[in-house]
Amino acid sequence: MDDLEMLKKQADTIRFLCADMVQRANSGHPGAPMGLADIITVLSRHLRHNPKNPKWLDRDRLVFSGGHASSLIYSFLHLSGYDISLDDLKNFRQLGSKTPGHPEYGEVPGVEITTGPLGQGVANAVGFAMAEKLAEKKLNSETAKIIDHKVYALCGDGDLEEGISYEACALAGHLVLDNLVMFYDCNHITIEGSTNLAWSENVKMRLEAAGWQVSRIDGHDYEEINEVLLNAKEQVKPYLIIADTIIGKDAVGLEGTSATHGAPLGEEVIRKSKAA
């Protein structure tokens, strides 16, 4: 692992870049991006991709099922060197910009799929994993390994509440898609408040019953995130990583609350949070 202090600095940069984008647009969802900043920072060390060639055939695929958290996607792509400028980030959620409120395929280099309705991105990721397996069968030989990549997905509580995600995950388990790795951003918050208002099932047991390998980690512990990603590369089943995170991480006075889910933090909160 890199120096942990440097990882924290990089994650904080992403965290508050996302908060600034939402604040400037006066619209958006800062909470999930702020909570996932540590995971995307470590995941970026494991992804096989080429910002100068976004269509490289054997790149790892990265699917954001929670499309409302698009400020995280754009921040990651900008900082990775994709053709997304700082001005594009400043135009977040503006009509005609390259950075709409939900990612749109074909509009932004590095965005693999259009995601909006909850659960859809989970099904998209399963489809990508199926496609990779089919391409392996058709293109690889004993002397040439043309296709050999992973499909990574990020989803949240809302995604896993939807029926489409369960159906797709059941198929992934049945087909033993060992090339699929999914992070579940488990922050226990929806726009209405705690997930306890409407949901109490054991996701670990559900996915294990469907044939998945499941691990649980602290989604803000860089060493744990790195270790689970190393393990994921040796998996023999589709792999769900339940990451316990804090929505709106490091937002002073609002951290861990539904207030960070779907509204700007406010200039004063951002100022205090950056100082802290």
Residue range 211-220, pLDDT digits in tens? 999 999 999 9
Q: How far apart (Å, rounded) are the C-alpha atoms in residues 245 and 191?
A: 16
Output the CA–CA distances (angstroms, integers) from residue 134 to 170, 176, 177, in the order listed: 18, 13, 11
- The per-residue pLDDT for range 108-133, each reduced to its tens digit, is 999 999 998 999 999 999 999 999 99
pLDDT band at residue 2 under the 50/70/90 scheme:
low
Q: Please give the pLDDT value at position 1.
A: 64
- The per-residue pLDDT for range 198-248, each reduced to its tens digit, is 999 999 999 999 999 999 999 999 999 999 999 999 999 999 999 999 999
H or E, element range at 67: none
Output the CA–CA distances (angstroms, integers) from residue 268 to 23, 73, 83, 275, in the order listed: 11, 25, 31, 11
Q: Does domain 4-275 have CATH number 3.40.50.880?
A: no
CA 166 from chain centre, in angstroms, equals 18
Single-letter code of the amino acid located at 254: L
- Burial class of residue 185, CB neighbours in 10 A (0-12, 13-18, 19+): buried
Helices (H) and strands (E) in the chain, counts: 10, 7
Q: Among 32, 22, 19, 31, which Cα is nearest to 94's?
A: 22
- The per-residue pLDDT for range 78-115, each reduced to its tens digit, is 999 999 999 999 999 999 999 999 999 997 999 999 99
Which CB contacts under 8 angstroms, 24+ apart, belong to 104-113?
108/74, 108/77, 108/82, 108/84, 109/51, 109/54, 109/77, 109/82, 109/83, 109/84, 110/49, 110/51, 110/54, 110/73, 110/77, 110/80, 110/82, 110/84, 111/73, 111/77, 112/61, 112/62, 112/63, 113/63
- The per-residue pLDDT for range 32-70, each reduced to its tens digit, is 999 999 999 999 999 999 999 999 999 999 999 999 999
Radius of gyration of the chain (CA): 18
Decide if 239 contacts 152 (C-beta within 8 A). Answer: no
The residue to which tokens 């996932």 are assigned: 36
